Structure 1
Amino acid sequence: MNIVFKTVWAFILCGVMTLVVGCTETTDPTTQEPVDPKPGQYEITLSGAGLMKNMKEEPHSYCLYESERDAFPHMLAKNYYELHPGCRAKHDPREGNAISGVISCSADPKMATGMNSFVYKGVVGEERTKVDVQIKFDAQLKQGAGGEMSDTQLKLAMKAMERMRFVIKAVRTGDC
């Protein structure tokens, strides 16, 4: 009887675990039916993840119009990371509700030559959109560009910055 009781409990436990795992799995946004954000008022927040996890910026409010719906997810990254008019934004073709792209900006000519990039990817929803951004330093540093900071220290700082991830969230709060 003891073996039967243990066997029954083992099956029940396995069934519960299957339900829990099945309910908590996230769906792949590339396989979802594409949706565009609904027009309306959005609260936009910028925060950090990884090394930047405690970095938070005050939320901003934005009124999204019907004509901006498909461009809105890419606008989120572009508005925060297009550093100057010479930056170039390129977004990849959308797959389901997954977006991605790159914003390339020339480096400060006093410190480096070449371009640096902000690589982003995100998930679009009707009332919530999230975009993750990481910087990629592709420019070549000039000797002594760091001033009091040695070239080695500056390169280490740049590598640390490349591990940082910024998160932009837009949540619909109602009509405009």
Structure 2
Amino acid sequence: MRPSLRPSRLACIGALMWTATACSGASAPASKEPASLAPGLYEISVSQSLQHVSDQKTAPKPICLRSYDIDAFPHKLAEDYFVAQRGCRTVRAPREGNTVSGEVICAADRKVAEGSIRFVYTGEIEPERLTLQGNMVIDVDLPKGTGGPEASDAQMEKAMRRIEKIKTVIESRRLSDCA
């Protein structure tokens, strides 16, 4: 049997992917020179999807971003949206290039469960746009029978895992100068 001189399909795919990445000139937001958002009137919209199916999108809301709010704005946008109750704490990771990330951590309602619910987010800053993406991480111990007669313990666990798969996107786009 003669050895085949044709490269394997996997090797070809790998080479094509490497070539496309190398030639695209695209670089990761974390490795780019840091950009600052421009002050002005921004339109904020929030959408949620589960496995690429858009379930919900809010009507855009305007906000006037002042120069003194620019540095905190990416984190405040996520924190204001995801703080579910009093007593939540926030963790802001140091900015890397044009990438921001952090967490909002809230204790579970002790009447229902023990543990915490975290919203973990990352985002990319451009001069006139900020996009944040995040999802919930539910780390709770549910007492047996929490779902009552309507939902078994297995159904409750499955529901929590499904909630964790919901992707939330917060987009802000600069429209103009503030009035």
So what's the TM-score if we normalise by structure 1?
Answer: 0.84
Deviating 4+ runs (over 4 angstroms): 18-21
Residue in 2 that maps onto 1:166: 168
Shift of 1:55: 1.5
- Amino-acid identity (%): 39
Residue in 2 that maps onto 1:96: 97
Call closer, same or farther: CA 1:19–1:87 in 2, change over 3 Å: closer
| CA displacement 1:44-81 (0-9 Å, x = unmatched) | 01012333523211111111111110111111110110
Does 2:127 align with 1:138? no
- More divergent stretch after superposition (64-73 vs 136-145): 136-145
- Counterpart AA for 2:26: T
For residues 115 and 70 of structure 1, the distance between their equivalents in structure 2, rounded to whole angstroms, comes to 28
- Counterpart AA for 2:174: R
SS of 1:139 mapped into structure 2? strand
Residue in 2 that maps onto 1:12: none
Does 2:120 align with 1:119? yes
Structure 1 portions without partners, runs of 5+: 1-17
Structure with greater proportional helix content? 1
- Counterpart AA for 2:96: E
Structure 2 portions without partners, runs of 5+: 1-18
Shift of 1:132: 0.4
Call closer, same or farther: CA 1:125–1:140 in 2, change over 3 Å: same
Number of residue pairs the alignment of both structures matches: 158
- Counterpart AA for 1:129: L
For residues 20 and 134 of structure 2, the distance between their equivalents in structure 1, rounded to whole angstroms, comes to 34
Shift of 1:20: 10
Structure with greater proportional strand content? 2
Residue in 1 that maps onto 2:65: 64
So what's the TM-score if we normalise by structure 2?
Answer: 0.82
For residues 149 and 81 of structure 1, the distance between their equivalents in structure 2, rounded to whole angstroms, comes to 26
For residues 132 and 81 of structure 1, the distance between their equivalents in structure 2, rounded to whole angstroms, comes to 12
Shift of 1:111: 1.6
RMSD after superposition: 1.8
For residues 69 and 28 of structure 1, the distance between their equivalents in structure 2, rounded to whole angstroms, comes to 22
- Counterpart AA for 2:37: P
Call closer, same or farther: CA 1:94–1:168 in 2, change over 3 Å: same
Residue in 1 that maps onto 2:50: 50
CA contact (8 A) 1:110 1:145 kept: no
Shift of 1:146: 1.5
